[in-house]
Every structure is written in C-alpha cells, then in structure tokens.
Amino acid sequence: MTDVSASRIATPWHLWVVGVVTLLFNAMGIVSYLTTKLGMLEQMGLTPEQIAFMESYPAWIGAFWALGVWGAFAGSVLLLARSQWAAGAMGVALVGLIGTTLGNYVVLDVPAAMQAPALDIAIWAVTLFLLFYARAMAGKGVLR
C-alpha cells in the first residue's frame, strides 16, 4: 500500500499569509458589492448624487463586478483550502476586473468623488499577484 500522506507537499508558511491577507482584502470588495445591492449606500455615507450614480449602474458592469469580487474571494478561500481551483477562480476574477475597469473608465462618466485610482491599482495588483501565486503553488504541487 502507498502512504498518501507521504506524497503530500508541505504547505509553505507564505501560503497562509497570502491566503489570509487576500481574503481580508477581497472581503472588502464583497462588503462594497453587498452594501450596493442591498441598498445600504446611505448608511455607508454616500451622497444622494453618488447613490443616484450607483442606482443607474448598468447591469452588465454590475455582472462583471460580481464576477470580480466573488471570483477573487473564492480564489482566496480556495487557496487556503489548497485547492487547484484557486487559479481558475482568480481567472474569473480577472475577467470581472477587466469588464468593470472598461465599464468605469471607458463607458461611464464616474463622478470625481467616486474615483479611486490608487484603489483600482491595488485591486489590479492583488488580483494579478493572486492569480500568478495560485498558478505557481499549483505548479509546485502545493494545491491539489
């Protein structure tokens, strides 16, 4: 008989750090998405003009937004679960991020008070990092 546990690759310490930090980061996207969809924007401190903008948000951009935030959150959870599907979830998140970015920067005229280029750059950096990290961990046999 073959000992299955002997063939497992040890989980590197950095996987837990990356998984937990990105889970917390991606949870912020979930909170933003849910507060918008649940109509809690006034409670979050948005002005009437900002709320009107969010209520007029096109459904197709909202769909990409959902793919982005839920895909990224799932990617972090799957990474922590050492699942080979983590990279796939991050691929979905990347598709969502591309669609949302095009919508916000090419199609819509986002109010100045709602523009956050530094946050957008951070989201892109975390998404790409997590995608490449998950692929690297899968390639090393850490994810199964």
Q: What is the total count of domains within the chain?
A: 1
Contact (CB, 8 A) for 55 and 116: no
77-128 pLDDT, tens per residue?
999 999 999 999 999 999 999 999 999 999 999 999 899 999 999 999 999 9
Let me know how long the chain is: 144
pTM for this predicted structure: 0.90
In contact, 9 and 141? CB cutoff 8 Å: yes
Domain with 78 in it: 11-139
Residue 6 binned pLDDT confidence (cut-offs 50, 70, 90): very low
Please give the pLDDT value at position 7: 58
Q: Is residue 110 part of a domain?
A: yes
Q: Is residue 144 part of a domain?
A: no
In a domain, 40, yes or no: yes
- Residue 112's φ and ψ, nearest 5 degrees, are -55, -40
Domain annotation covers residue 86? yes
Q: Does residue 5 belong to any structural domain of this protein?
A: no
Does residue 4 fall inside a structural domain? no
Share of the chain above pLDDT 70, in %: 94
**Residue 39 included in any domain:** yes
